[in-house]
Structure 1
């Protein structure tokens, strides 16, 4: 959540009415045995959060990650705002996805986190989809709620980028791009499957950026005989990610679920057309500025991918639509809305 915290700090930099003081209340649990870290982490958040509240003269506390929603209960005698990005772990525990449910302790912590949300004075949701998920769980709150899309930082403004720079030599071959972690909901395996459907009909490579691939990903690439066509870039720098967005012919984003989903909007802002699923919030977030297919529909996404890569007019149209759509995700509207939420809560 460091990125979200950075955005809030940036939104109010130089603001005469709002002063933001950042505090991390999570303790260092890395020295503990793996099985104890999760419990120790959340215990430290409760303990340090309570201590911080007693020592601080803040007018309100903004809990920027709903997985620590229990802090609204801990801080119920103070003014609190909580941002809920998604409730994927809870949905996973309810069997919504074809993946193993979290363990017993994790389920307890998930429920404990959600039980704190009703104590917030204001809940912020990244999307209508996330709001619907929380409402579907029967969770209400004592205060108000808002839907507030996270904004893009200035670094994702095409105006800030040198678009006249030459294409790097290692990106000379046209490529399809994906960025994301190995979490099941990102569906990295699906990226490989979709690419395999169209690989014989296009000259492109596939580049996946994020953490190192799992053995399952590597094995699947070998099974599909795509070793020479698929590349994994582990933990690329921000500058490298920008280059990948700018020079990719398309971003493929077949997530099973997203609470918001930054990459499609980042890609659009930097002139890269998008093919994505409608998992969770994605359909809501991209609107008609991307080619959208159903969750897990490999054939439909492969068809959209092929259409975009084989039709230069369609590609140009989607680039233009994407750039216009991404322009609505500026930090100005975000800061104005968040400022008003803060002032309303404080009264």
Structure 2
């Protein structure tokens, strides 16, 4: 007798998975899946991957599924209905002195020693080590899941699980080769380039894993093309399901008045990919006409880093403030006070900050880097990525025209509600899972 996952017993006809381009929600299906979502580091304050895990797990639970998140530290913040399974690591990026983090018992573990040695030698070993710990976890706790869904750890351990018959799916938000190439382009000497290549050495592993996994998801058609180019996986073998926005949290706040000259952006200050330098130069030009302008950056300023030096050179130290580690509610309040939000990225595989700003009804000026035009549609003012002049002109137009700002903010909110709410995205993911399991059932019944 053929095996069918128990969720399929109540589901005979899988709904087709709609494309991102159509922007419509998949038809709900019946049946309860057991799903494990994986993340090697998943706290929302250390990157978008933690945000993705939080909201995807919540959306799937609300559709009636049983969801566990298996994560390394720093651990995620999850809905109370989602179970967190912790996979401890040395967590060396949180250690005050990584050199002294190794203890005698760690020498008995190749994984612990490798994580320690990678950090000290300039490499990033967390994805590889998470994969090894994941295999050990599943060896000690046999898989009870219909779907094991990885969130861009892409360690060799996923291939081991796949060989053991686990139904593994991986989301690749975008190939990190983009980050590496831009960092290399910004490097000023051979020593910096060597350190950059050393840190990104995990990419060779990720490329091999992406090529060999049976099921890969990405969040935009742009990322689909980039993965094909960077990792040599055919585009037709990469399924597109967009990220989502929690429109119940990210929404306009009528009780907070917008400040006419307040600008806001979300950016890692010393990552060239995020384009903060472009925005700072545009801001310096605009202050000639609008000296009242102020910019809030949702991110952390690195002391003595390139951004701090540029702020001083442009005489913006008293004009730009950085806010780090704030809650979602605090972020929404910042958006409510802002007259204009800006996403100046040179490239985005999706662009969640753009979608969140639009959901809050703040008018958005956004670069055309990567997938951003896909995400914002007609709901934002697009500018040329990397162009200070294009960004300056667009911001100037909106600052001078409050009616245009209001119209743009309303259009952006409506776009998100219609296409990128997590309810819609969760249904698309659910339909994709059922499609995979139906394929498995069909093969096993032959």
TM-score (norm 2): 0.70
Corresponding residue for residue 225 of structure 2: 132
Tell me how far apart the structure 2 counterparts of residues 147 and 42 of structure 1 sit (CA, whole Å): 23
Match of 2:61, SS state, is coil
After superposition, residues 283-302 of structure 1 pair within 5 angstroms as 283-302=373-392
1:62 to 149, 152, 156: 149
- Give structure 1 stretches of 5+ with no counterpart: none
Tell me how far apart the structure 1 counterparts of residues 88 and 348 of structure 2 sit (CA, whole Å): 25
Per-residue CA deviation, residues 89-140 of structure 1 (Å, 9 max, x unaligned), is 3134456973245644434311111211133232111111110001113522
RMSD: 2.5
After superposition, residues 184-263 of structure 1 pair within 5 angstroms as 184-202=272-290, 203-215=292-304, 216-263=306-353
Tell me how far apart the structure 1 counterparts of residues 227 and 369 of structure 2 sit (CA, whole Å): 16
Residues 85 and 175 from structure 1, CA distance in 2 versus in 1: closer, same or farther, beyond 3 angstroms? Answer: same
Corresponding residue for residue 116 of structure 1: 209
Tell me how far apart the structure 1 counterparts of residues 196 and 317 of structure 2 sit (CA, whole Å): 35
Tell me how far apart the structure 2 counterparts of residues 13 and 334 of structure 1 sit (CA, whole Å): 13
Whether the 8 Å contact between 1:120 and 1:142 is mirrored in structure 2 is no
Corresponding residue for residue 332 of structure 1: 423
Whether the 8 Å contact between 1:151 and 1:334 is mirrored in structure 2 is yes
Match of 2:170, SS state, is strand
Match of 1:245, SS state, is helix
Corresponding residue for residue 137 of structure 2: 52
Tell me how far apart the structure 2 counterparts of residues 178 and 142 of structure 1 sit (CA, whole Å): 32
- Give structure 2 stretches of 5+ with no counterpart: 1-48, 72-86, 100-115, 188-192, 439-446
Whether the 8 Å contact between 2:224 and 2:235 is mirrored in structure 1 is no
Residues 278 and 172 from structure 1, CA distance in 2 versus in 1: closer, same or farther, beyond 3 angstroms? Answer: closer
Whether the 8 Å contact between 2:338 and 2:362 is mirrored in structure 1 is yes
Whether the 8 Å contact between 2:340 and 2:363 is mirrored in structure 1 is yes
TM-score (norm 1): 0.88
| Pairing 1:12–2:98 present | no
Per chain length, whose mean CA-contact separation is higher, i.e. which structure has more relative contact order (CA < 8 Å, sep 6+)? Answer: 2
Residues 291 and 26 from structure 1, CA distance in 2 versus in 1: closer, same or farther, beyond 3 angstroms? Answer: farther
Tell me how far apart the structure 2 counterparts of residues 91 and 154 of structure 1 sit (CA, whole Å): 30
| Pairing 1:174–2:271 present | no
Tell me how far apart the structure 2 counterparts of residues 195 and 115 of structure 1 sit (CA, whole Å): 43
Residues 53 and 272 from structure 1, CA distance in 2 versus in 1: closer, same or farther, beyond 3 angstroms? Answer: same
Offset of residue 253 of structure 1: 1.4
Offset of residue 242 of structure 1: 1.0
| Pairing 1:22–2:69 present | yes
Offset of residue 29 of structure 1: 3.7
Whether the 8 Å contact between 2:341 and 2:364 is mirrored in structure 1 is yes
User: How many residues are paired up?
Assistant: 338
Whether the 8 Å contact between 1:76 and 1:119 is mirrored in structure 2 is no
Whether the 8 Å contact between 2:155 and 2:206 is mirrored in structure 1 is yes
Tell me how far apart the structure 2 counterparts of residues 127 and 250 of structure 1 sit (CA, whole Å): 25
Per-residue CA deviation, residues 274-306 of structure 1 (Å, 9 max, x unaligned), is 111111111221122111111111001100000
Residues 323 and 332 from structure 1, CA distance in 2 versus in 1: closer, same or farther, beyond 3 angstroms? Answer: same
Whether the 8 Å contact between 2:182 and 2:272 is mirrored in structure 1 is no
Residues 316 and 59 from structure 1, CA distance in 2 versus in 1: closer, same or farther, beyond 3 angstroms? Answer: same
Match of 1:76, SS state, is helix
Offset of residue 172 of structure 1: 5.7
| Pairing 1:145–2:264 present | no
Corresponding residue for residue 170 of structure 2: 82
Tell me how far apart the structure 1 counterparts of residues 263 and 174 of structure 2 sit (CA, whole Å): 27
Tell me how far apart the structure 2 counterparts of residues 205 and 299 of structure 1 sit (CA, whole Å): 19
